[in-house]
Amino acid sequence: MKKKILIAVTAVVVCAALITGGVFGGLVVARNNRLKTDNELTGLTGEYKNVILLIGDGMGKNHMKAGEAVYGKDFEMRTRAVMAGEAMTFSRALTGPTDSAASATALSTGVKVDNGEIARHKGENIKSNMELAVENGMATGVIAAEGVKGATPAGFSAHADDRNDLDDILATQLTSKIDLFMGGAKEYYDEHAEKIENAGYKYFTDMNDFDNSADKLWGVFEELPTDSEKSNSTAPTLAQISVAAIEYLDEKSGDNGFFLMIEESYIDKMSHNNDMDEMLAHMLAYNDTVNAVLDIAEEIGDTLVIATADHETGGLEYNGETAAALNDKMFTKTHHTKANVPYFVYSKLDGVPETLNNTQIAFICRYYITNRPAA
Ligand SMILES: [Zn+2]
């Protein structure tokens, strides 16, 4: 009798293992097929002196629509675009959506990595567009509302096994030769101010100390205010630091041009919290930033501007609600989703399809960072 039970138990265990193995194998095959999606483009032509990429962390299509309901009209981010479409955001994860580290890496290097990895896969660094821009003599900058230690800015300026390896992120940023870092998280950076200054950066915490003649700049502030918070804060808005950074980089780069990444970090954070009002405030701040960047980019000329997101957060539903009817319950999740995200290009580019892989956005930036106009 006991022997029969043993045989039955063994049979069940073996079957379970086979099924699990089969399911796992199926997930690997499906993931590997996803990874075969195009990461490159053919047909891009022309040259741009400067390239600016803006990322609204966590911004899905419905975040924009809800924001526009409050704004009372379409965002300039949308109306000023010459081309628009959506980007796929999946990472190497077997199941589930990307995190901001993997999506930043995709947008910065054109390579899909596992969630958590910062421009590195299984210990191997992956060259980022920022590094390529430095090599090509362009001026470079990285801006993030929550501070440049976040996964998105790190994906553009650092290499690390994990997004939480903040020492590695800072150490690689300090040797990156990137000209400008700006954003929030003053408390964190104050502890590292000496290290930052020793690496040749002018460290400042007040926009009055923004020094256009400095060789390299590292500006940090208390949390950057949205428009409604502006009167209670001495810190600048994301739009203000972005414009100052562009003026600095344009001046510094001379004929060589610049590459700048700007992230509005809190659309994601507030969507994780299912906090509609705060999400909307940051959605408007992102549109303000894109709009201000487009104004100065037009002034400077010869500048390619792209605005997109890294992934959708919160499974936000929107069915034509008025501004007054928007509420926290329209979020259906507290985490990221696999939904495609919007992208906008403010120039006419050839050979760019309406639905892109996020790695193809990196490809576009890389194309124009590589194909330099005669200086
Ligand atoms: Zn998130």
- Domain presence at residue 375: no
Q: What is the mean pLDDT of residues 350-361?
A: 96
CA 335 to ligand 1 centroid distance, Å: 7
Same domain, residue pair 57 and 16: no
CA 268 to ligand 1 centroid distance, Å: 5
Where in the sequence is the domain holding 314, given as residue range(s)?
43-370
Q: What is the mean pLDDT of residues 353-357?
A: 96
State the CATH number of the domain containing residue 86: 3.40.720.10
Please name the residue ranges forming H helices in 49-95: 61-71, 76-79
- Domain presence at residue 177: yes
Same domain, residue pair 77 and 22: no
Same domain, residue pair 313 and 190: yes
Same domain, residue pair 27 and 99: no
Under 8 Å between Cβ of 144 and 123: no
Same domain, residue pair 23 and 53: no
> What distance in Å separates the CA atoms of residue 370 and residue 71, rounded to the nearest whole number?
38
Same domain, residue pair 255 and 146: yes
Same domain, residue pair 347 and 314: yes
Q: What is the mean pLDDT of residues 67-96?
A: 96
Q: What is the mean pLDDT of residues 21-25?
A: 80
Residue 279 has pLDDT above 60, yes or no: yes
Nearest to 173 by CA among 189, 190, 187: 189
Same domain, residue pair 31 and 49: no
Same domain, residue pair 24 and 141: no
Same domain, residue pair 29 and 48: no
Residue 363 has pLDDT above 80, yes or no: yes
pLDDT at 1: 57
> What distance in Å separates the CA atoms of residue 341 and residue 311, rounded to the nearest whole number?
6
For 117-138, the pLDDT digits (tens) are 999 999 999 999 999 999 999 9
Residue 229 has pLDDT above 70, yes or no: yes
Would you place residue 206 in the very low, low, confident or very high pLDDT band (cuts 50, 70, 90)? very high
Distance of CA 243 to the CA centre of its chain: 18
By the CB criterion, residues less than 5 angstroms from ion ligand 1 are 268
pLDDT at 324: 97
For the chain, what is the domain count?
2
Same domain, residue pair 139 and 231: yes
SS3 152: helix
CA 107 to ligand 1 centroid distance, Å: 16
CA 207 to ligand 1 centroid distance, Å: 29
> What distance in Å separates the CA atoms of residue 343 and residue 341, rounded to the nearest whole number?
7
pLDDT at 15: 67
**Tokens linked to 237:** 């808005």
Same domain, residue pair 90 and 140: yes
Q: What is the pTM of this model?
A: 0.94
For 147-158, the pLDDT digits (tens) are 999 999 999 999
Nearest to 148 by CA among 184, 109, 94, 106: 184
